[in-house]
């Protein structure tokens, strides 16, 4: 399933161009016109899909309030910056240094928040298990195998002090690495690409896990959709991976 | 161990009727604050903190920038929470401030409403985890500021905190979910212990009396 993360990256991405133009007029007319270039992608599954590991209420608030706020604040920050507003999100985030100082922090926080959460919804909704094929081989080669990857990823997520994310990055050669970023920063800001990532802001887990971030990190693997992650891995190697 | 978790100056359910439920206080004090204390005690030897007061440790860690963060994260959060418990009360909030604090706020902000608005703004605009503060600046004026994560105005050198509000999501997520502005408004209207703030103004800030 392809998710319309945001209209811009689809419109600008080479792969998305034909699809977007071919979309039937009626289907497009149904969507509320966004108050800017970016829009909140619908969750690709019901908010209960990740139960019992991630509760329905957390999913609803996380997507419908937190992510929605990043989208609307991002659009607001772009209101008077037509040229920046035309950039696909990965390019906007990689070129924050060129943005006017007055909106740079808003673009960083909210653009990062939009990118991170769009990725996050995409790679969840699954049933966990283990990666396979070429992705599993890359994990073995670069991260010491799946068990080691999970342990290192969880430990890195636990070390993030305050709000932030833990990611697996992927480069054009398919090489993987585990990194963390504070707040809504993302490796996209250095021109990198994210294979997968977990949100360790307290809002991601507080209703169900409270202060027990380690338990959340461990449980989260049960909802990873490895087919989606594998598709992202293939896209990264093909140079078509967006946010 | 040298550093210890101070008891709450009220019961765990004392603020429940005022927007901070028992579960929030139990987790926040008994789990989050306790974890900072435990982690800080674990750093004393490896970081050479013996003999220093908590306030010294926070200031020195702040001056060390990125190198000081492992200590500042725990020491700052220990200090910050010590203050936080003191500046809330089951009889808090309201508009009746001790005279000298009220006149100082009028003088430096133009009135209590203006101060509250500035403080709320600081808390709302602190992106991610952090704190909103009322401080006495080096020039003697009251100012509002904000800091990320475990930092505070002692570690940044901005001044002496006399009121702080925790805007980490763990402070308000059970009570207010994503609505941080409502949490801050509630804190200002119903929870602030103005007598404690007035005392800290008079005494030149809070001293925890704790040292490594």
Q: In this model, does residue A152 exceed pLDDT 90?
A: yes
Number of compact structural domains in chain A: 1
Q: In this model, does residue A135 exceed pLDDT 60?
A: yes
* Cβ-contact B92, B165 below 8 angstroms: no
Reading phi first (left if > 0) and then psi (alpha if -120 to 50, else beta), residue B205 is in: left
Q: What average pLDDT does the structure give for chain A? A: 89
**Residue B128: its chain A contacts at CB < 8 A?**
162-164, 182-184, 201
Residues counted in chain B: 212
State the nearest Cα–Cα gap between A202 and chain B, in angstroms. 6
pLDDT in tens, B66-113: 999 999 999 999 999 999 999 999 999 999 999 999 999 999 999 999
**Most distant CA pair in chain B: distance in Å?**
48
The set of residues, in sequence order, having a beta carbon less than 8 Å from that of A111 and lying 6+ positions away, is A70, A74, A89, A92, A93, A96
pLDDT in tens, A27-56: 333 445 567 899 999 999 999 999 999 999
Q: Give dist(CA B72, CA A150) in Å, integer.
A: 28
Q: In this model, does residue A6 exceed pLDDT 50?
A: no
> Please, is B48 exposed, middle or buried when counting C-beta atoms within 10 Å of its C-beta (0-12, 13-18, 19+)?
exposed
From residue B34, give the alpha-carbon distance in Å to each of A75, A180, B13, B78, B155. Answer: 40, 25, 18, 8, 21
Q: In this model, does residue A11 exceed pLDDT 70?
A: no
ipTM reported for the complex surpasses 0.85: yes
- A210 interfaces chain B, CB cutoff of 8 Å: yes
- Helix (H/G/I), strand (E/B), else coil: A3: coil
Q: In this model, does residue A153 exceed pLDDT 80?
A: yes
Q: Please, which pLDDT band fits residue B147 given cuts at 50, 70 and 90?
A: very high
Q: Is residue A140 part of a domain?
A: yes
**Residue A182: its chain B contacts at CB < 8 A?**
128
Q: Is residue A48 part of a domain?
A: no
Residues counted in chain A: 243
Burial A37-59 (b: 16+ CB within 10 A, else e): bbbbbebbbebebbeebbbeebb
**Residue A69: its chain B contacts at CB < 8 A?**
178
**Residue A105: its chain B contacts at CB < 8 A?**
127
| Closest listed residue to residue A70, CA positions, set A41, A90, A30 | A41
Q: Is residue A39 part of a domain?
A: no
Q: In this model, does residue B38 exceed pLDDT 80?
A: yes
Q: Give dist(CA A204, CA B174) in Å, integer.
A: 12
Q: In this model, does residue B53 exceed pLDDT 90?
A: yes
Are A202 and B170 inside 8 Å of each other by CB? Answer: yes
**Which one of B127, B130, B169 has the shortest CB-CB distance to A206?**
B169
Q: In this model, does residue A15 exceed pLDDT 80?
A: no
Average pLDDT estimate for A82-99 = 97
- Helix (H/G/I), strand (E/B), else coil: A6: coil
Average pLDDT estimate for B159-165 = 98
pTM of the model: 0.92
pLDDT score for A32: 53
| End-to-end Cα spacing for chain B | 8
Burial B68-84 (b: 16+ CB within 10 A, else e): bbbbbbbbbbbbbbbbb
Q: Is residue A58 part of a domain?
A: yes
State the nearest Cα–Cα gap between A61 and chain B, in angstroms. 7
pLDDT score for A194: 98
Q: Give dist(CA B180, CA B168) in Å, integer.
A: 9
**Residue B151: its chain A contacts at CB < 8 A?**
none
State the nearest Cα–Cα gap between A214 and chain B, in angstroms. 13
DSSP tag of A66? I
Are B177 and A109 inside 8 Å of each other by CB? Answer: no
| Closest listed residue to residue B72, CA positions, set B13, B152, B140 | B152
* Residue ranges making up the domain that contains A85: 53-243
Q: Is residue A114 part of a domain?
A: yes
- The angle formed by the CA atoms of residues A208, A212 and A216, to the nearest 5 degrees, is 65
Q: In this model, does residue A94 exceed pLDDT 50?
A: yes
Handedness of CA A241, B127, B74, B34 (dihedral sign): negative
Pairing of β B130-136 and β A194-199 = unpaired
**Which one of A61, A162, A211 has the shortest CB-CB distance to B31?**
A211
Q: In this model, does residue A18 exceed pLDDT 70?
A: no
- Helix (H/G/I), strand (E/B), else coil: B26: helix
How many of the other CB atoms lie within 10 Å of CB of B91?
13
| Closest listed residue to residue B146, CA positions, set A209, B138, B155 | B155
Give me the torsion for CA of B191, B129, B114, B21, rounded to 10°. -20
Quote the strand ranges of chain B, DSSP E. Answer: 130-136, 142-148, 160-166
**Residue B73: its chain A contacts at CB < 8 A?**
161
State the nearest Cα–Cα gap between A88 and chain B, in angstroms. 24
Are A109 and B127 inside 8 Å of each other by CB? Answer: yes
Average pLDDT estimate for B157-164 = 98
CATH number of the domain to which A216 belongs: 3.55.40.20
pLDDT in tens, A222-236: 999 999 999 999 999
Given the candidates 3.90.550.10, 3.55.40.20, 3.40.50.2300, 2.40.160.20, the CATH classification of the domain at B21-207 is 3.55.40.20
Helices B112-125 and B99-109: crossing angle in degrees, nearest 10, is: 70
Nearest CA in chain A to B169: A202
**Which one of A61, A203, A210 has the shortest CB-CB distance to B27?**
A210
The residues in A 106-145 lying below 8 A from B, measured between CB atoms, are 109
Q: Please, which pLDDT band fits residue A24 given cuts at 50, 70 and 90?
A: very low
pLDDT in tens, A96-131: 999 999 999 999 999 999 999 999 999 999 999 999
Nearest 5°: phi and psi at A164?
Answer: 170, -165
**Residue B169: its chain A contacts at CB < 8 A?**
163, 201-203, 206
> Please, is A166 exposed, middle or buried when counting C-beta atoms within 10 Å of its C-beta (0-12, 13-18, 19+)?
buried
């Amino acid at each position: 399933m392809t998710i319309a993360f945001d209209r811009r990256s689809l419109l600008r991405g080479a792969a998305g161009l034909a699809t977007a133009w071919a979309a039937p007029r009626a289907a497009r007319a149904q969507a509320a016109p966004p108050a800017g270039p970016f829009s909140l992608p619908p969750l690709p599954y019901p908010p209960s899909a990740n139960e019992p590991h991630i509760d329905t209420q957390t999913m609803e608030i996380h997507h419908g309030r937190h992510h929605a706020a990043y989208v609307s604040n991002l659009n607001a920050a772009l209101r008077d910056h037509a040229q920046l507003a035309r950039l696909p999100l990965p390019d906007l985030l990689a070129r924050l240094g060129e943005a006017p100082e007055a909106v740079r922090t808003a673009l960083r926080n909210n653009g990062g928040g939009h990118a991170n959460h769009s990725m996050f919804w995409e790679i969840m909704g699954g049933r966990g298990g283990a990666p396979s094929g070429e992705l599993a081989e890359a994990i073995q080669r670069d991260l010491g195998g799946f068990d080691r990857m999970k342990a290192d990823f969880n430990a890195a997520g636990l070390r993030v002090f305050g709000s932030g994310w833990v990611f697996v990055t992927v480069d054009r050669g398919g090489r993987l690495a585990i990194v963390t970023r504070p707040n809504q920063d993302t490796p996209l800001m250095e021109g990198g690409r994210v294979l997968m990532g977990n949100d360790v802001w307290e809002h991601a887990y507080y209703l169900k896990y409270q202060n027990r971030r380690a338990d959340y990190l461990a449980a989260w693997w049960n909802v990873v959709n490895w087919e989606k992650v594998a598709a992202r891995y293939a896209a990264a190697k093909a140079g078509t991976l967006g946010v | 161990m040298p550093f210890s978790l101070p008891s709450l100056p009220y019961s765990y359910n004392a603020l429940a009727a005022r927007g901070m439920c028992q579960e929030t206080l139990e987790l926040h004090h008994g789990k989050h604050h306790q974890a900072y204390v435990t982690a800080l005690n674990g750093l004393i030897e490896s970081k050479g903190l013996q003999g220093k007061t908590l306030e010294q440790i926070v200031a020195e860690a702040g001056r060390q920038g990125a190198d000081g963060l492992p200590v500042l994260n725990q020491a700052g959060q220990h200090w910050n929470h010590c203050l936080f418990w003191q500046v809330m009360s089951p009889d808090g909030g309201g508009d009746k401030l001790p005279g000298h604090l009220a006149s100082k706020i009028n003088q430096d902000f133009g009135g209590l409403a203006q101060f509250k608005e500035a403080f709320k703004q600081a808390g709302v605009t602190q992106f991610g985890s952090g704190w909103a503060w009322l401080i006495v600046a080096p020039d003697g004026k009251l100012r509002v500021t904000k800091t990320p994560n475990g930092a505070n105005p002692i570690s940044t050198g901005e001044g002496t905190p006399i009121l702080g509000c925790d805007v980490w999501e763990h402070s308000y997520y059970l009570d207010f979910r994503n609505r941080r502005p409502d949490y801050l408004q509630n804190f200002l209207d119903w929870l602030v212990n103005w007598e404690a703030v007035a005392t800290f103004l008079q005494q030149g800030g809070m001293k925890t009396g704790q040292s490594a």
